[in-house]
Amino acid sequence: MSKPAINFFLEDVKYTLKNKTLIRNWINDTIIAEGYQLEELTFILCSDEYLLAINQQYLNHDTYTDVITFDNSETLKMIEGDIFISIERIQENAKQFKGTVLDELCRVMIHGTLHLLGYKDKGKAAKTLMTQKEDEYLALFSASLGKLAI
């Protein structure tokens, strides 16, 4: 049996993702905490235009977005998927919400992962639960980042 994998790729952008091992462990810990098992998860960091083309082609949406998640799982409780993230949207959001690019990127990464874990964000109650879960897991990531600084 192969080891579960979390991969990071760049499409159409230049970006250096730091703390990859920490991020991988955090995402995997989140999946386990939710009662799932990781098969394979790929994060593709891309440009606005690249993600817009995916949004148009696969979802028939003609809008910019920060994240699109594709669930490729074929087995119950096994996570396999592709999460496309616009680095340009993340950078804009970080400015708008007065946060760091890493904080915003982690929020979107966990958002996409939570979609694979069955969480939705359509409707007020679903959106509230999604945000609550994002905050819960982001706090765990911040705590593990804090340990690096010690």
Length of the chain: 150
| Residue 61 marked ligand-binding | no
**Residue 135, C-beta contacts closer than 8 angstroms, at least 6 positions apart:** none
Residue matched to tokens 């340990």: 147
| Residue 121 marked ligand-binding | yes
Max CA separation in the chain (angstroms): 47
| Residue 115 marked ligand-binding | yes
CB 116 within 8 Å of CB 81 = yes
Binding site: residue ranges? 111, 115, 121
Binding site for Zn(2+): residue ranges? 111, 115, 121
